[in-house]
Amino acid sequence: MTTTEYKNGVIATACWRVAPNELHQVMLAVCQVFINRASAVDGDLYDEATAWLKDNPGEYPDPRDPQFQQLLSRLESVTCGMVSDKTGGALYFLPTNELQSDMLKAFQITTVIGGLTFIK
């Protein structure tokens, strides 16, 4: 296993943990948020993903899960910038069913993908 493969596995795990029951496209959008956060603070995608994992302990994906496999196979296209940012520059995400009306005053909703709302 290379360093890049290891880092991509950690990033993919963080994306999966945010949206374990969603399609891989939602998980890739989460990856874009981690990229946006890293860019906002002149940081690193891997550091953003590992920080999120530390703050949100939980389960791990089954490597046989077809959505996780799709996530892994398409992750590099997002991390290398080959795919446009479908989150509209979002810095945060939350399950749409947890969105409260008072949040709309403090944040701008950029898009909804699957069961997640993306905001900045």
Query: For residue 4, what are the CA distances in angstroms to 55, 90, 97?
Result: 23, 25, 35
Number of domains, the chain = 1
From 88, 74, 73, select the one nearest 36 (Cα to Cα). 88
Domain that residue 89 falls in: 3-119
pLDDT tens digits, the chain, 120 residues: what are they? Answer: 899 999 999 999 999 999 999 999 999 999 999 999 999 999 999 999 999 999 999 999 999 999 999 999 999 999 999 999 999 999 999 999 988 877 777 889 999 999 999 999
- Token readout for 50 is 């590992």
Q: What is the pLDDT of residue 98?
A: 87
- Token readout for 20 is 């374990």
From 82, 81, 61, select the one nearest 9 (Cα to Cα). 61
Q: What is the pLDDT of residue 117?
A: 95
Q: Are 54 and 14 in contact (CB under 8 A)?
A: no
pTM (2 d.p.): 0.93
